[in-house]
Amino acid sequence: MRHCINCCIQLLPNDLHKRCFRCRRSNHINQKCPVCKQENIIPLYVDSKQMNLLAVLEVRTHHNESWNGFFCLRKGKLCSLIFGLIIMTLVMASYILTGAKHGLLLIPSPFHYGTFTGNPNLMDNESLSEMKDHYQPSKINISYVRDFPSIKLIIDTITSKIEFINRQRPDLEDLKKQELHMFSIIPNKFLPNSKNPCWYEEYRGNTTTDPYTTNSYALYSKRFRTIFDYLKKVFWNHLYHYKDKHYRLRCLPHFYIIGQPKCGTTDLYDRLRLHPDVRFSAIKEPHWWTRKRFGIIRLRDGFHDRYPVEDYLDLFDLAAYQIQGVLQSDVTKGHSKMNHIIIGEASASTMWDNNAWVFFYDNNTDGEPPFLIQDFIHAFQPHAKLIIMLRDPVERLYSDYLYFASANKSAEDFHEKVADSLQLFENCMLDYSLRACVYNNTLNNAMPVRLQVGLYVVYLLDWLTVFDKGQILVLRLEDHASNVKYTMHMVFQFLDLGPISEKQEALITKSPASNTRRPEDRNLGPMLPTTKAILRDFYRPFNTKLAQVLFDDAFLWKKT
């Protein structure tokens, strides 16, 4: 049976053809509708039974139909269609914006900036061909070049605010007021017949007392408990008995590997400890001077109970036992011989991390810390030796990011974090001095990447306010990687270590490198060329000053 659908739909609400009544009659086949007048007929094929609109099997339209029937739809369907179009538009817009941000668009975005070339410093220091390689964006990540002009303005602002001002060295009495307990434990003088700074301390415990039961390193870390379990077993065998009293030998390090992180300090530590006259703390990086003595276990966990200096000295007990063995053997032979065993400590945070000062010292110096780590080390060990391993700060930052970032690591993500960190650093420099920003705890915790760690010269100058230049050995990772034997000989000479056999030297110099980049991080590839150009500009004035202080242009890192 054939019906006019434009008439039959009058049964629906809000129908436009309410005047049509013939559709309800069974003999209505193909009559003229008083409304449609057969001009917009859409045949509807159904069976001979009473038509059920919910059981429509097929709707066929003539090719000459118009769009008038479209306006007969229900308002709800019309609203749904409009809503769907809006959603589709938003999705397309989101795709375009996201694609432009991550360089995923098949067609480049019209909002990308061109390559920035207006850098007079670059023109002075590099050739034109180097400039093109330096600033040209990656073809895959072409959108990131748009960041360079705006970030260049940020770097110019930072550079204009840089001032290397000498720091005022605090008085010894002021240091004692800050750390009364520490000064009561560590003496002013050490044993004269030991190259390493050591002294005897009276032990008042008994044979049933565990001398390490309250050691914070053992309490807060399960992996250190095995070390202290062993120390506990041999502790009583190494006590020195004199006039019904027990004494234990206490030692501080003779030298410190103080920095920087991701610059090869682990490799230097692993090789140096193979020397027969060198010992290290039971834990490679105690971080006591910078963190543990303030109660910082993990930076993200806030503050805990402060680690007393006794807990730090416990870490050198194993080395002290060996030094004591040398001293006692000389006494039994009836003569006094110089002990040549020296102890090292290799916390890579020692050079730069003074973030905790603001919580413990008075902030009356315009945001600059009144006391630094080196002030206290120098107060106890004015003759200590310091080793610093550095690398190109641009590469150091990327290595640092790959090592410490936990998820979503990529060259693009690194670029964004660098841009955010530079913005934060600029904001600080607008209001405070360079030193105040470098040691600003809030800023350093807020920056997504640790830009400040690569400002080597700022830290070095502050260490040189208390230590003589001859007490500090500064090495480059690039030199160490290319000639391990040469750099290790420099270290041996600096520490005044005795000669070693060819076999021992081969063991030290030919061992594989330690703590290299993980395979999954290597697969991420290098940083974006634009990111490298940004960081080169940021670190340039600091590298220039460092090269001047050390009288060595290699620290400009022009060829890396």
Q: What is the mean pLDDT of residues 181-193?
A: 95
Q: What is the mean pLDDT of residues 348-353?
A: 96
Q: What pLDDT digit, counting tens, does each position of 80-109 carry?
A: 778 778 878 776 766 555 444 343 333 333
* CA-to-CA dists, residue 93 to 109, 112, 366, angstroms: 13, 17, 48
Task: Name residue 547's amino acid.
Answer: A
Sorting pLDDT into bands at 50, 70 and 90, what band is 358?
confident
* Contact yes or no for 165/292 (Cβ under 8 A): no
CA dist 14 and 27 (Å) reads 25
Q: What pLDDT digit, counting tens, does each position of 413-445 carry?
A: 999 999 999 999 999 999 999 999 999 988 998
* Contact yes or no for 457/162 (Cβ under 8 A): no
Phi, psi (5° rounding) for residue 139?
-65, -35
- Cβ neighbors of 324 (< 8 A, separation 6 or more) are 238, 240, 249
CA dist 260 and 442 (Å) reads 21
Structure tokens at 548: 């001047």
- Cβ neighbors of 212 (< 8 A, separation 6 or more) are 218, 228, 231, 232, 235, 314
Statement: residue 111 has pLDDT above 60: no
Residues across the chain = 560
Closest CA to 546 of 558, 537, 536, 556: 556
Closest CA to 424 of 442, 397, 443: 443
Closest CA to 227 of 280, 276, 182, 267: 280
pLDDT, position 335: 58
CA 135 to chain CA centroid, nearest Å:
25
H-run or E-run covering 280: strand 278-280
Assigned CATH class of 172-400+470-516 = alpha beta
Q: What pLDDT digit, counting tens, does each position of 241-273 carry?
A: 888 899 999 999 999 999 999 999 999 999 999
Q: What pLDDT digit, counting tens, does each position of 312-325 carry?
A: 999 999 999 999 99
Return contacts of 185-193, CB within 8 angstroms, 24+ apart: 185/309, 185/310, 185/313, 186/252, 186/309, 186/380, 191/327, 193/327, 193/330, 193/336, 193/337, 193/338, 193/339
Closest CA to 158 of 470, 418, 539: 539
CA dist 237 and 62 (Å) reads 107
Radius of gyration of the chain (CA): 38
| Domain coordinates in residue numbering, the chain | 172-400+470-516
